[in-house]
Structure 1
Amino acid sequence: MTKEKTQWYASWFDTPYYHILYKDRDHEEAHQFMDNLTNYLNLPEDGKVLDLACGKGRHSVYLNSLGYNVTGVDLSENSIEYAKQFENDTLCFEVHDMCKPYNEKFDAVFNLFTSFGYFDKDEDNLNTIKAIKEDLNEFGFGVIDFMNTDFIIENLVAEDVKTVEGIDFHQKRYVKDGYIIKDISFTADGEDYNFQERVKALTLKDFEALFEKAGVFLLDVFGDYKLRKYYKTTSERLVMIFK
């Protein structure tokens, strides 16, 4: 039996297999990134942070441990249900579509770990930036942490197999119609699964055009989680600060 999923980010993220495949993500690196970012932005001690597309809440939980009042939102009901175990008086999680304003004001809105460019409609990329702008207070900063597509495409591994918890995840990567695509196939519990991750291959120039349309101002661009200078051909990340 083969299970096909169409709206990939609404379905793949809601499966336990997504979290199995990516269980080895570097939490220490993520923590250092949050330390560097919050220090750089000089956020108020008890500042309000919106973690947009928060997944299971790993960044939100750590930001809260630093003393921030954090709201984590995600489209995945399963991820939010998992994250709710970490809630306290200054940490909450909610299912929310990031294309729409959250209708609160924050000192910072973070969109981390390439949680952008998934949409079928291009206007939803613009709508998300407009929503971030709407959710920022007068002194607030927006942050989008995206992959550096120039570097990724140049170093794309066409095919590999990753084995996690006894499951062989067959991964094929390619560029098509302006998207970086990863096809993922595997067998688990006697069933065959096929999923696809599809992210718009947005460049810094593309983001600059979106920011201009949304009426926000790009303040800084960094090329990695240590907030070092961005280089188009060699930087792994594209970290953009705007307001």
Structure 2
Amino acid sequence: MARNSKNLKAAYAAIDRNKAYGLAEAVSLVKGNAKAKFDETIEIAMNLGVDPRHADQMVRGVVAMPNGTGKTMRVAVFAKDAKADEAKAAGADLVGAEDLAEAIQNGESGFDRVIATPDMMGVVGRLGKVLGPRGLMPNPKLGTVTADVTAAVNAAKAGEVQYRAEKAGVVHAGIGKASFDEAKIVENATAFIDAVRKARPSGAKGQYVKKITISSTMSAGVFVEDAAAQ
């Protein structure tokens, strides 16, 4: 704990907490301050001028990270017969139907993404209280309810990121690891920012993107200058 506190103090000393930096400089600062003994995740958070409690102000979507996220995604697929075989061939970690639903109800949680073929949504729907709070319910708008399970599994494994505005109007995601080249982190951050900006809902009024912050798992956040607002 003492070491972490020392590193965090050093990170704060290295940045101007009242300044918004250009994206490339912000990434450089965050990457330079990531001094933990493990490969820290680089995260981005966008504070939006929306109230997600209103349907016309919800911000939700999916974006493919150009350089992946550095995280190993564990994928569960609800499918039967040939589609189940297809999911297994694509590299899904868990595949099943009623048996998979029972396993999840009994505590199975070894997955980060859930994909389902349309005919399996009757089974998956019964898991709403388990999957919903984790943001894992399959959704056609996010490409996780689909007959093309191969494409869905491949996208998830390649670093596709889902995002959803929280109560305070914040969306966030992991966009890489501290071991990534700065240029790759910048490219991923740009893809995420662009996707969220394009997802502006019809009910959003006034300033949409209020603040952008980039940080690492154990280090201080750095404010990012919103170039599009200049």
Tell me whether the two structures share a fold, i.e. TM-score over 0.5. no
* Higher Cα Rg, which structure: 2
Q: Which structure features the higher share of strand residues? A: 1
Q: Which structure features the higher share of helix residues? A: 2
TM-score for both structures, normalised by structure 1: 0.24
TM-score for both structures, normalised by structure 2: 0.25
